[in-house]
Structure 1
Amino acid sequence: MTREEAEDILTEAGQAQDDAFPLLEAAIACAIHDRPFRDPSAVRTLAARAVERLRERAGVESPEEALAETLSGELGLDGDLMDEGDLEVGDIIAVADRRRGLSAVLGVFYIHAGLACGLNVQGVDFPGHFLLRVDTREGPVAIDPFSQGRLVLPSELTRRALRAGLTPAVADRLDLLMAPINRRQSLVRLQDLLFIRAIRAGDYPAAEGAALRKALLDPSDHRPWLDVAQARERQGALAGALSALDQAKTVEGDFQARLRQVRERVRLRLN
């Protein structure tokens, strides 16, 4: 698959309704867009195996136990503590091969398998760390795909929220801490994390790619185009930065004053 073909898939995914968003295939397209011409068959094989094994467990175990035992216990998916600075930990093709990666990438396999088996598994945009919300008969619970799918107790959620800088009034609100996000938002969060890491590493072409993928996946949000513009500006591609800002102008929203300021700054550099 070429980068252009991957962009076509991401563009189509961006137009899909939230409840029909093709999470696994969009995640594969994101990886190919970053590094084209790779074979994604290992991703699909692992995902199919996860569905097969989870379906056998789901009828006899609780949803959270079945997910953890299948995805981590049997298939070996776990967080990568040693290579957090490596951008490959956010690449689903690389993660399928090494079975180690970022929480948001591991979550793709959890969510895909859970939905295929009739479980309600959603991402949680928890501050500083991607978690999963799983509906059970006793109510929703949080699990951490980065830590072998283990259960995260409410008290631990509160402690993590306080460490992340949330106020005590917010940190005690489990309804806020476990508010679910849809599949599109889960994948956009991953690309946003890759963008931030690439910017910090000074890898502006990689940052531009991650920002562009965000823009394609969620065409209703103008902010990814501002990130594209930032990455292009740092590469000295000022005309490209202005083009990205023009794209942002086509998205509805109350941000035109800020956009004009950014565009004027880039235009002055270009002139």
Structure 2
Amino acid sequence: MTTLFTLPDWSALAGLDDDQIPLLGSALLIAHDEYPELDPAACNAMVEAHVASLREEVTTIDSAPLKMQAINHRLFDELGYAGNHDEYYDPRNSYLNEVLARRLGNPISLAVVQMEVARRLGVPLDGISFPGHFLVRLPVDDGVLVMDPFNRGRPLNADELRQRARPHFGEDVPDEALMQILDPAPPRAILVRMLRNLHALYAENGDWARSVRCADRILRLLPDNADALRDRGLGYSELGHSIGAARDLARYLQTNPEAEDAEAIRHRLVEQGVRRQPLH
């Protein structure tokens, strides 16, 4: 019997608590914007097939870290999931239907696959919105086991985590700060990070329609997110949608009058006003 699997609705996600947001379905919803013909049930069936191939083995293992070792072996060694080191900025690395089909992804998309499979097998794997590359974590008796999904689920020790954090936090990364960085990332934060990755990629390449779409989706999840409001406004400006640009950029300045880029945004607003003047 096939289990019905449908995508959530963007308009409903903003009102959901984090524990109500379906991670796989919402990640596929992001992909649906780019691939409107994708079959969410088929994508879910692929994940469930991975789970089914592991269930008997994982059930016989008592230790959660050893269960996770078996899951990683299956995903990365046998099924061939891998970080796309050669074409890291290929947008397909962020779209989960493509990740499932190609078995190539970026850190966060591979983490979503890893988490979905682990959780369906009763292994409480969480994501970590670590600076730089997204990571995953598994609770163990004396702390957490941190792994890198972009590099075949390789475990990372505290020294390596501090080294990775230093470019973002300075030379001194105390234990308290490190543990805070390693807090579990809720589903909404994971989805927003996926969308920010895509926005940055499309904006860098001047694909303003897609960059606006990503910023708009972030605002569906976080209606008051200042960065997404600014980014959507700037994208509208590039596309010539003066009214939308002026509305978003003005709201950004109202809520962030002391922002570092406030002067540049004010200048862009003036430009929008000039563009909207009728010709005589």
Q: 2:273 maps to which residue?
A: 270
1:167 aligns with 2:170: yes
- One-letter code of the match for 2:47? A
Q: 2:220 maps to which residue?
A: 216
After TM superposition, the structure 1 = structure 2 runs for residues 1-271 of structure 1, keeping only pairs within 5 Å, are 9-59=9-59, 60=61, 62=65, 63-162=67-166, 164-170=167-173, 173-245=177-249, 255=256, 258=259, 262=265, 265-266=268-269, 268-271=271-274
Question: SS of the counterpart of 1:168?
Answer: coil
**CA–CA distance in structure 2, aligned partners of residues 138 and 106 of structure 1:** 26
Q: 2:277 maps to which residue?
A: none
Aligned length: 262
Contact in 2 for aligned 1:64/1:151 (Cα 8 Å): no
Tell me the alpha carbon deviations over residues 157-184 of structure 1, each in whole angstroms, 9 at most, x when there is no partner. 122222x342122265431342221111
**CA–CA distance in structure 2, aligned partners of residues 97 and 192 of structure 1:** 23
The 10-residue stretch of structure 1 (229-238 or 144-153) with the greater mean CA deviation from structure 2? 229-238
Tell me which structure has the larger Cα radius of gyration: 2
Shift of 1:213: 1.6
**CA–CA distance in structure 2, aligned partners of residues 15 and 155 of structure 1:** 39
Please give the root-mean-square deviation of Cα atoms over the aligned residues, in Å: 2.8
Tell me the alpha carbon deviations over residues 4-36 of structure 1, each in whole angstroms, 9 at most, x when there is no partner. x97x71222222111111111111111111232
Question: SS of the counterpart of 1:181?
Answer: coil
Shift of 1:189: 0.6
Are residues 181 and 155 of structure 1, via their aligned partners in 2, closer, same or farther at CA, if it must alter by over 3 Å? same
The 10-residue stretch of structure 1 (237-246 or 9-18) with the greater mean CA deviation from structure 2? 237-246
- One-letter code of the match for 1:235? L
Q: Identity over aligned residues, as a percent? A: 26
Are residues 244 and 269 of structure 1, via their aligned partners in 2, closer, same or farther at CA, if it must alter by over 3 Å? closer
Shift of 1:53: 3.5
Contact in 1 for aligned 2:249/2:269 (Cα 8 Å): no
- One-letter code of the match for 1:28? L
